[in-house]
Structure 1
Amino acid sequence: MNRTDIAVTGLGLLTPGGLRTDTSWRSVCTGLSTAATDPELKGMPVDFSCRVPGFDAMATLGPQVWRMDRFVQFAIAAAREAVTDAELSPETWDGARVGVVIGVGTESKYAMDDAMQRRFDGRPLTVSPLTVPRMTTNMAAGEVAIDLGIMGPSMAVSTACASGATALGVARDLLLADRCDIVLAGGSEASCHPVTSLCFSQMKALSPRVKDPARASRPFDKDRDGFVLGEAAGILVLERGADADARHATVRAYFQGYGTSTDAYHYAASHPHGAGIERAFRSALADAGMEPADIEHINAHGTSTPMNDRIEAQALSRLFPAGPPPVTSTKGVTGHTLGAAGAIEAAFSVLALQDQLIPPTANFDSPGPGIDLDVVTAAPREQSLRAVASNSFGFGGHNSVLIFRAAR
C-alpha cells in the first residue's frame, strides 16, 4: 500500500432516489426518473423537480434543526451515515486531525426569501437574526463539524455544478499534504425553490415538459431540451490507504486521480470545443498514473441540455479515439442536483466499482447529433470494472474530473 493511496471508507447519500445510500443506489439502477410535479413550484413556468422523498428533519436530526436550512440538514444526515458506514466514531477519533470539505453551488433561497418577504410586507424587524448563518454556503461544513466534533480544516467549496467534485479534490489534497488523517467531503444542495426554478427557466436551461415530467431528463438523447432541478447531499469519508489498513477498515474504492481546469471562456456556457474538459480529464489521468484505455466507465456530467451534452460527448470522443468506454448520466434519474451532483455521482461511481454494475441512463432512446457514445440504457449493465471516471462542470467554466479504482 502506497501512502498516497486515498481510500473511500464511507458513503452517505440523501437523494431523490431515497434517504440512504442503498435506496439511492437501487433507484439509480432502475433507470426510472424521479421527476414529478412539485407543489412548492406551483405557478412557476416549470413546476416539477426531483425532490428528496419523505425527509423529516426533526425526526432525523432532532430539535437543533430550527437553526438550519434544508441544505445543511441534508449535509448532516449524509455525513452521519458516511461516518457510520466507515465504522468511525467522533468519540474515539482525534477531531483535530479530521477535516470537512463540502461543496454548495448556491446560497440558500429559503432563508433569503423569508427575509425579503418580511421586508416587503412591512415587517422588517421580524426578520430572523439567524438569516445570515442559515443561508451562507459555508454552514454545511460548519454545522457538520459542530455535529461531529471535527476540529481540523473545515471549508466550503463553490464551483457551481462542479462544487461537490471539487470538494473531493480539495479533500484529497489535504490528505496528501498530511494536514488531516480523515476528511469528510462531498456536496449538498436544496435547490428546488421557486426562485431557483424561475431563474433557470428564464435562462431556458430547464426542460419545459410540464405535462410529462418523468420523461424530461434525458441526457444525450436527441429529444433532450433542458435539465430537471434536483436536490441531494452526498458525503464520502476519505483516508490515506495505509491509515485505513491500519485500523482494518473496509475500503470501498480508491480515489486515484483528480483533475481540474477552467475554460476562461464564458460565464455560463462551456468552451464550444470542450478544451477545458479535455485538460481536466488528462490532468486526472496523469494524477492517477493512468492512460485513457484504463478507464472502463464514465459517469458523465450529462445534464440533458442540448449544448453541454454535445460538447461533453465530443470531448470524450477525442480523449478516447477508439471510442469512449460505456457512459451513463445518473441525472436522468436524480435530475441535476447542482452543487451536490459531483459528490453523489462520485458515490455512484464507487458503487459501480463495488457491484461491477453500470447504472442506466433514464429516458435515452437514441443519440442526438454529434453524440457518438456507448450510453448504457434500459437496464444496468454488468461489466468488469477496475477504474471509472466521474465528470462535473459548472458555470464560470469550472471543470473537475475524478478517477476511482476498485479496491480488490
Structure 2
Amino acid sequence: MTRKVVITGIGAVTPIGSDVSSTWDAALAGTSGTHKLDNDWGEKYSLPVDMAARVDRQVVADKLSRVEAKRLDPSSQFALIAAREAWQDAATPDVEPERLAVAWATGVGGVWTLLDAWDTLQAKGPRRVMPLTVPMLMPNGPAAAVGMDLHARASVQTMVSACASSTEGLGHALDVLRSGRADVVVAGGSEAAIHPITLAAFSSMQALSKRVDDPEHASRPYDVDRDGFVMGDGAGALVLEWEEHAKARGAKIYAELAGAAVSNDAYHITASDPDGTGSVRATVDALRDATASPSDVRHVNAHATSTPVGDLPESLALNKVLGEHIDDVAVSATKSMTGHLLGGAGAVEAIFTTLAVKSRTAPPTINVENLDPKVNLDVVLGKPRTLPDGDLLALSNSFGFGGHNAVVVIRNV
C-alpha cells in the first residue's frame, strides 16, 4: 500500500489576512488586498505604479518581539510568523529534531536588508552597516529562521526559482519524506520585495498593472482588459508528514499532498512558452506522481497573474491536459485578491487549494468583468462555488521567470 503524505498544519500572513482564518474568510468574501501605497514613493521616485498588496506591518509588531523583528529581514519575519502558526495548528508534533526538516522558498530574499545597508553605507560609512546584514539578506535567511525556531536538524533547504519557488519547495518536501530522510517537513515560502527598486524594475518591463486610479480592481486575471500583475508580499507554511505518523499522534488532517512535478520551458527568461509545453509536462508528471488521471481533477488554483500574455499559456496547457474534462473543473485565480507574492505565492495558493478541498469550496476570482474569449476555462467568478461530493482532486500551479513550471496535486482524505 502506498504511504500517504498529509497536510496537518497551515499558517499564513497575507495582504488580506493576518493568519489563515482571516485570509480564507477574506478570500471567500472576494476581498482585494491591493491599495495605493501610503508613502511618498510615487512622488519621490516618479514611479508610474505606486500601489501594491501589502501585509499590514502591525502584524509583525503583534506577533514577533522587537528583538526578533530587528534581527530579521521582512521576508524572514513573515516566514517565522507563518511557520509558527502552522506548527501550532499541527499541535506541535513531537518529533526528534533529526527527523524534522524545513523546505522553504523565496524568489528574491532579503532585498530590503540589502538596499537599506547600501543606503547606510553611502550616508554613514561602513562602520554603521549592521553586523547581521549578510545573514539577513541571504535568500536562505527565512529557511534558517524557521529551522532554528523549530530546531529542525534533518535538513533546512531553500528553493529559489522566482515565482515557482514555494511550489517547488512543496515538491522537494514530498521528496524528503518519501526518501525517509525526515518524518515531518515544514514547507512554505515568503516574500517581502515591495520596494521602490522592484516597483520601478517591474514597471520598466511593462509587467505591472497601471490601474493606479482603481487599485482594488487592478488585478483581473483572464479579463480582456487585464494589463499586468500587482505586487504582493507575505508567507504561507504547511506541515507535512506521513499519514500513519499523523494518525498515531491524533493530528487533524486537512488533505493529502498526493503528487508534485517540475519542468522548464527553456524558452525565454521572462515569458512562458506560448504553447504551454512545459506546463503540460509538469501537470502530466504531477498527476502521474499522484497516480491520478486528468478525469479526476475537479479544481485548479491557477497561477493566473493578470498579465496580457501570461494567462493564456496556462489556459492552453490545462485544456491540453484535461481535454474533454475541462468543463468539469472549477478554476480559481486568487492573485486577483492577494496580488502576486512572487516566491511566496505557491505556498499561500497551496493553502487555498487545501482549504478548497477540505471545505469543498472553491474561492472566487474577482474583478473579471469581461472574460477573455481565448480563455477556455470554467473560472469561478464573483462568489465561491461548492465543489462536488466524492473523491476530490485539485491542482495548484506556479510558473516563474527562467521558465520554471511547478505543479502540486492535493487530494481529499
TM-score category, normalised to shorter length: over 0.9
- Give, in angstroms, the shift of residue 303 of structure 1: 0.2
Paired position in structure 2 for 1:212: 214
User: 1:340 and 2:344 equivalent?
Assistant: yes
Residues 196-275 of structure 1: pairs in structure 2 closer than 5 A? 196-275=198-277
User: 1:388 and 2:387 equivalent?
Assistant: no
Which AA in structure 2 matches 1:280? A
Q: 1:159 aligns with which of 155, 158, 161?
A: 161
Q: Give secondary structure in 2 for the equivalent of 1:201.
A: helix
Q: Give secondary structure in 2 for the equivalent of 1:128.
A: coil
Which AA in structure 2 matches 1:395? F
Alpha-carbon distance in structure 1 between the residues aligned to 2:162 and 2:373: 27
Which AA in structure 2 matches 1:55? Q
Which AA in structure 2 matches 1:110? W
Alpha-carbon distance in structure 2 between the residues aligned to 1:18 and 1:294: 32
Q: Contact between 2:75 and 2:109, CA under 8 Å: does it hold in 1?
A: no
- Give, in angstroms, the shift of residue 318 of structure 1: 1.4
Which AA in structure 1 matches 2:125? R
Residues 16-27 of structure 1: pairs in structure 2 closer than 5 A? 16-27=15-26
Q: Contact between 1:159 and 1:398, CA under 8 Å: does it hold in 2?
A: yes
- What TM-score results when the alignment is normalised by the length of structure 2? 0.95
Paired position in structure 2 for 1:83: 87
Alpha-carbon distance in structure 2 between the residues aligned to 1:248 and 1:293: 33
- Give, in angstroms, the shift of residue 93 of structure 1: 2.6
Q: Deviations over 1:9-43 (max 9, x none)?
A: 00001111111101000111112311000124433
Alpha-carbon distance in structure 1 between the residues aligned to 2:103 and 2:324: 37
Q: Contact between 2:18 and 2:59, CA under 8 Å: does it hold in 1?
A: no
Q: 1:350 aligns with which of 338, 350, 354?
A: 354
Paired position in structure 1 for 2:411: 405
Flag the 1:156–1:55 CA change in 2: closer, same or farther, 3 A. Answer: farther
Q: Deviations over 1:326-352 (max 9, x none)?
A: 111100000000000000000000000
- Give, in angstroms, the shift of residue 122 of structure 1: 5.5
Q: 1:52 aligns with which of 50, 55, 65?
A: 55
Q: Contact between 1:19 and 1:55, CA under 8 Å: does it hold in 2?
A: no
Which AA in structure 1 matches 2:12? L
Paired position in structure 2 for 1:12: 11
Alpha-carbon distance in structure 2 between the residues aligned to 1:375 and 1:64: 42
Number of aligned residues: 404
- Give, in angstroms, the shift of residue 176 of structure 1: 0.2
Which AA in structure 2 matches 1:404? I
Paired position in structure 2 for 1:188: 190
219-228 vs 125-134, greater mean Cα deviation = 125-134
Q: Give percent identity, aligned residues only.
A: 42
Alpha-carbon distance in structure 1 between the residues aligned to 2:42 and 2:2: 53
Q: Contact between 1:96 and 1:150, CA under 8 Å: does it hold in 2?
A: yes
Which AA in structure 1 matches 2:339? G
Alpha-carbon distance in structure 2 between the residues aligned to 1:218 and 1:30: 16
Which AA in structure 2 matches 1:371? V
- The Cα RMSD (Å) is 1.3
Q: Contact between 1:100 and 1:145, CA under 8 Å: does it hold in 2?
A: yes
314-323 vs 398-407, greater mean Cα deviation = 314-323
- Give, in angstroms, the shift of residue 126 of structure 1: 1.4
Alpha-carbon distance in structure 1 between the residues aligned to 2:101 and 2:410: 21
- Give, in angstroms, the shift of residue 372 of structure 1: 1.0
Q: 2:119 aligns with which of 106, 117, 120?
A: 117
- Give, in angstroms, the shift of residue 309 of structure 1: 0.2
Q: Contact between 1:298 and 1:328, CA under 8 Å: does it hold in 2?
A: yes
- Give, in angstroms, the shift of residue 46 of structure 1: 0.6
- What TM-score results when the alignment is normalised by the length of structure 1? 0.96
- Give, in angstroms, the shift of residue 148 of structure 1: 1.6
Q: 1:299 aligns with which of 298, 301, 304?
A: 301
Flag the 1:37–1:350 CA change in 2: closer, same or farther, 3 A. Answer: same
- Give, in angstroms, the shift of residue 57 of structure 1: 2.4
Alpha-carbon distance in structure 1 between the residues aligned to 2:214 and 2:289: 43
Q: Deviations over 1:58-107 (max 9, x none)?
A: 43121222110101011011111101111125xx4311110001110002
Q: 1:362 aligns with which of 363, 366, 370?
A: 366
Paired position in structure 2 for 1:42: 42
Q: Give secondary structure in 2 for the equivalent of 1:261.
A: strand
Q: 2:382 aligns with which of 378, 383, 386?
A: 378
- Give, in angstroms, the shift of residue 271 of structure 1: 0.8
Alpha-carbon distance in structure 1 between the residues aligned to 2:95 and 2:191: 28
Q: Contact between 1:3 and 1:240, CA under 8 Å: does it hold in 2?
A: no
- Give, in angstroms, the shift of residue 172 of structure 1: 0.5
- Give, in angstroms, the shift of residue 209 of structure 1: 0.8
Q: Contact between 1:3 and 1:242, CA under 8 Å: does it hold in 2?
A: no
Alpha-carbon distance in structure 2 between the residues aligned to 1:112 and 1:28: 33
Paired position in structure 2 for 1:28: 27
Q: Contact between 1:175 and 1:183, CA under 8 Å: does it hold in 2?
A: yes
Alpha-carbon distance in structure 1 between the residues aligned to 2:151 and 2:37: 36
Q: Deviations over 1:164-186 (max 9, x none)?
A: 10001000100000000000001
Flag the 1:266–1:125 CA change in 2: closer, same or farther, 3 A. Answer: same
Alpha-carbon distance in structure 2 between the residues aligned to 1:125 and 1:56: 31
Which AA in structure 1 matches 2:257? F
Which AA in structure 2 matches 1:362? I
Q: Contact between 1:323 and 1:373, CA under 8 Å: does it hold in 2?
A: no
